């Protein structure tokens, strides 16, 4: 892809809807886009965005607004944050000003953990995204959502979502069923050629992703939808090939662990021999060869290797002080590294292992599920009932450890109690994943002369 000069990157602009705790917003900023507006309905998430704005979003602060017809800020001005229902927002003043519209519409309608009502669910906010597209005509769009969109039961409706994004100006009226509108859109699309360059149309790429394959220390299956305005001449086929090329793999991780003095163990020399032996014993004898980098692990994230930028290792959490809610990160100036008592593991709620990518960080309707926020430690105790005579100690992950698994910078400070901060993290886009796609979009626009 094209390497964009820093000064050119800063000229690009973005609008972020459904910003949540800021994962995709931080990613877009790191990819070189200047934010023109944020929207987020949840008050705690708004507080998080405001608290972290200068350090993580590249703006001179965020200004809560109630104006439903806002205008783009000038460089150096605070970015507006609209903290109310996006459906009431009129973004017409942003037309022609926005390079990238980004957002993750609420996923509960399509999530296996939600009620899965799909298009019947009032929380389905894809129509709000299409409305914003009509008002702003952005050059490109990034939309992240749960893999549940790809479930067979949603196949027809997900195709309808894609068709609406391809033809956003073919607006559906309320009394028309989505099936009838989809038939109308399909008839139009069937008549278009591959060379379609209508500025009212968009070309869409759907990418099923596992975040671990993009360098995130977490197994997180999602779907990323990217669209480019048809009149821009973007090579969509080249873009699709680039973003679907695997870069990190489980096989590469296993190869790095296979030998006793393999690269992974050299990076973590303090791992006890019995842990190393346990991990190596499960590695298959035959591992496929590839040119990928190793998956990043939970241990990598905690020790500061969770991204391409080395961070300080997080201090050890003292199991004897969990009930104190003691902040173990204060000695190195990191917030949110607070122990939490009461962790349990049981059937259906198995914990994270340090030498694998973490399990999917979840928000949870009733709080974070136990297994996804619990981790096995290196320490073990004698247990006659265990097959090998030992039981490994476990505890809850701290908010900071979870943020690192989401590739959030340590400057990110979540607002609210622990459960609320974990909810924001569980609903977010891993920064490294979002940044990869945002940079790819910027490069594709640059390659097309934009």
Query: Looking at the annotation, which residues are catalytic?
Result: 107
| H or E stretch at 395 | strand 390-396
Q: Burial, 449: exposed, middle or buried (Cβ in 10 Å; 0-12, 13-18, 19+)?
A: exposed
Q: List for the chain the helix, strand, coil content (%; round to 5).
A: 40, 15, 45
The CA distance from 368 to 380, in Å, is 25
Q: Could you tell me which residues come within 8 angstroms of residue 205 by beta carbon, excluding any fewer than 6 positions away?
A: 225, 226, 227, 236, 239, 240, 243
The CA distance from 143 to 82, in Å, is 19
Residue 41 pairs in a beta bridge with: none
CA separation, residue 61 to residues 10, 78, 403, 412 (Å): 17, 5, 22, 14
| DSSP state, residue 53 | I
The tokens for 235 are 């090579």
Burial 71-100 (b: 16+ CB within 10 A, else e): ebbeeeebbbbbbeebeebebeebeebbbb
The total of other beta-carbon atoms located within 10 Å of residue 379's CB is 12
Instruction: Provide the Cα torsion 292, 297, 303, 306; round to 10°.
Output: 50
| Dihedral sign from CA coordinates of 207, 360, 435, 416 | positive
Q: Could you tell me which residues come within 8 angstroms of residue 162 by beta carbon, excluding any fewer than 6 positions away?
A: 204, 206, 225
The answer to whether the CB of 48 falls within 8 A of the CB of 22 is: yes
The CA distance from 327 to 55, in Å, is 21
Q: What are phi and psi of 415, to 5 degrees?
A: -95, 145
């Amino acid at each position: 892809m094209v390497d964009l000069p820093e000064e050119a990157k800063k000229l690009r602009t973005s609008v972020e809807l459904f910003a949540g705790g800021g994962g995709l917003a931080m990613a877009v900023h790191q990819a070189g886009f200047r934010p023109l507006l944020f929207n987020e309905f949840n008050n705690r998430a708004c507080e998080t965005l405001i608290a972290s704005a200068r350090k993580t979003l590249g703006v001179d602060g965020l200004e809560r607004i109630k104006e439903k017809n806002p205008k783009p800020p000038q460089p150096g001005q605070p970015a507006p944050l609209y903290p109310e229902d996006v459906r009431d927002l009129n973004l017409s003043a942003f037309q022609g000003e926005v390079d990238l519209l980004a957002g993750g519409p609420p996923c509960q309608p399509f999530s296996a953990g939600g009620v899965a009502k799909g298009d019947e669910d009032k929380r389905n906010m894809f129509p709000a995204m299409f409305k914003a597209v009509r008002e702003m005509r952005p050059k490109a769009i990034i939309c992240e959502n749960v893999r549940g969109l790809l479930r067979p039961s949603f196949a027809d409706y997900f195709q309808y979502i894609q068709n609406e994004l391809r033809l956003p100006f073919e607006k559906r009226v309320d009394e028309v069923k989505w099936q009838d509108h989809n038939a109308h859109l399909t008839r139009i699309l069937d008549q278009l050629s591959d060379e379609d360059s209508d500025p009212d149309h968009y070309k869409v790429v759907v990418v099923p992703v596992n975040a671990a394959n993009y360098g995130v220390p977490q197994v997180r299956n999602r779907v990323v939808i990217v669209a480019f305005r048809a009149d821009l001449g973007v090579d969509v086929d080249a873009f699709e090939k680039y973003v679907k090329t695997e870069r990190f793999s489980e096989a590469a991780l296993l190869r790095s662990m296979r030998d006793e003095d393999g690269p992974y163990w050299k990076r973590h020399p303090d791992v006890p021999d019995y842990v190393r032996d346990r991990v190596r014993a499960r590695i298959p004898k035959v591992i496929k060869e590839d040119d990928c980098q190793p998956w990043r692990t939970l241990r990598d994230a905690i020790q500061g290797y969770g991204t391409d930028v080395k961070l300080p290792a997080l201090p050890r959490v003292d199991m004897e002080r969990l009930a104190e809610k003691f902040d173990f990160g204060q000695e190195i100036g990191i917030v949110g590294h607070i122990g939490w008592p009461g962790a349990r593991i049981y059937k259906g709620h198995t914990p994270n292992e340090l030498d694998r990518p973490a399990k999917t960080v979840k928000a949870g309707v009733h709080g974070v599920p136990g297994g996804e926020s619990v981790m096995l430690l290196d320490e073990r105790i004698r247990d006659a009932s265990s097959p090998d005579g030992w039981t490994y100690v476990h505890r809850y992950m701290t908010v900071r450890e979870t943020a690192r698994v989401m590739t959030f910078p340590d400057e990110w400070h979540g607002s609210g109690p622990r459960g609320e901060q974990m909810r924001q993290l569980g609903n977010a886009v891993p920064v490294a994943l979002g940044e990869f796609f945002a940079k790819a979009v910027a490069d594709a626009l640059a390659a097309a002369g934009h």
